[in-house]
Amino acid sequence: MGRKLHTIKEHEVTDKAVYLNRRQIIKAAGLSAIAGGFAASSAGSAGLQRAETMGGQGPEWLRQRVSSASISKISTPETLTPYEYVTGYNNFYEFGTDKSDPSENSSKFKSDPWSVEVGGDCEVTGRFQLEDLLKGQDLEERIYRLRCVEAWSMVIPWIGFPLRKLLSRFKPTSRARYVKFETIYRPAEMPGQSAYFATLDYPYVEGLRMDEALHDLAFIAVGLYGEPLLAQNGAPLRLVVPWKYGFKSIKSIARITFQKHRPQSSWQKSNSKEYGFFSNVNPKVSHPRWSQATERRLPSSLFSSNRIETLMFNGYADEVAHLYKGMNLRMNY
């Protein structure tokens, strides 16, 4: 059994006025935002101010949509990771391999205007502007755990909508057994893509089985902490699959393809012995170079490692375990 995915009652949710003013609270008091009635964590203002200047915050229409998002009843009741960690401690190799590289190297990245090309085994194909993709979608805030394959974790208040609501618009055919996602390829704006010793082949590719993609927990995020996504977090459109390791949640999506055959993901292509296609969080299956039995919940320090047990499917087993019934999760890692 994992941590139960909680349904938050209305009286447990922070008052809307407080929620809408949380950015002013952050700037004035140097505290992380409060959501779901949970205690705030201390946050240094220097990293926060740096993060806010990087990568832009999206067009005004998107800011308005994100700021008016409803609070979802699907959330985890855990203390949020401070904003400056969420926006300043990132893996996004397109901007560099160090944790600070994405926030420091993404100032040239442009996420407005943005379009996504859709094709493959679906009835509706073409290139769609971000405004069209979000048209008619009710944005909501969901607080999800994020577990990195490197054994650190966060708790993040994403803003977006269920992936299934996006995919259904394109009317995938019966041949579509998988959905493939690709990150934008812009070496001039993303220096990691043109690095001489690049870690991965670009553009970055990820994929899901259709039943995974259509599960209600699979989420398309366009914001976090009440603001549009910053470049380092995958602006303007990223995937969030909370029961899988973080690298499955592809950022800055530019192409979606429905297909019969399983796509080969970028990390799988780079090192299939360490990074499988499914990449479900599994404390019983160690990474070849480290254990996955525990994780370091950020923020942490030399004197306070903040290490906790890792739960099967990142604590979402009650919701998603049935998707893998009968599968050998050691072989299908």
Q: How much helix, strand and coil, in percent to the nearest 5, is found in the chain?
A: 25, 25, 50
* 17 or 225: which leads in pLDDT: 225
Would you call 123 exposed, middle or buried from its count of C-beta atoms within 10 A (0-12, 13-18, 19+)?
Answer: exposed
Answer yes or no: are the C-beta atoms of 292 and 310 closer than 8 Å. Answer: yes
In the chain, where the domains are located: 6-324
d(CA 239, CA 142) in angstroms, rounded, equals 13
Q: Which tokens hold the place of 333?
A: 């890692």
Model confidence at 147: pLDDT above 70: yes
pLDDT for 189 equals: 98
Structure tokens at 157: 């208040």
What are the strands, taking DSSP E only, across the chain?
6-7, 70-71, 74-75, 115-120, 126-129, 140-147, 152-162, 178-183, 205-209, 219-224, 227-228, 238-240, 253-259, 294-297, 307-309
Question: What is the pLDDT at residue 317?
Answer: 98
Averaged pLDDT, 153-157:
98
How many other CB atoms sit within 10 Å of the CB of residue 52?
18
In this predicted model, what pLDDT tens digit does every residue of 157-199 receive, in sequence order?
999 999 999 999 999 999 999 999 999 999 999 999 998 888 8
* Higher-pLDDT residue of 21, 171: 171
Domain 6-324 fold is Sulfite Oxidase; Chain A, domain 2 (3.90.420)
The CA-atom distances, in angstroms, between 233 and each of 29, 132, 202 are: 24, 22, 18
pLDDT of 45: 32
Specify the pTM.
0.85
Confidence category of residue 13, pLDDT binned at 50, 70, 90: very low
43 band by pLDDT with thresholds 50, 70 and 90: very low
In the block, which residue shows the tokens 């690709």? 182
Is the pLDDT at 11 greater than 70? The verdict is no
Tell me the pLDDT band of 33, cut-offs 50, 70 and 90: very low
Q: Which of 22, 304, 308 is nearest to 157 (CA)?
A: 22
Render the burial of 139-157: b for 16+ CB within 10 Å, e for the rest: bbbbbbbbbbbbbbbbbbb
pLDDT attached to residue 57? 79
Q: Please, are residues 224 and 159 in contact by the beta-carbon 8 Å criterion?
A: yes
> Average pLDDT for residues 54-79, to the nearest whole number?
89
pLDDT at 286 (0 to 100): 96
Q: For residue 95, give Cα distances in angstroms to 84, 184, 186, 298, 318.
A: 18, 12, 11, 22, 36
CB within 8 Å of 101: residues ≥ 6 apart: 92, 95, 192
Q: Rounded CA gap, 211 and 193, in Å?
A: 31
Pairing type for strands 227-228 and 253-259 reads: unpaired
> 101 and 54 in contact (C-beta within 8 Å)?
no
Which pLDDT does position 252 carry in this prediction?
A: 98
> Is 222:139 a contact under the CB 8 Å cutoff?
yes
Query: pLDDT over 70 for what percent of the chain?
Result: 83
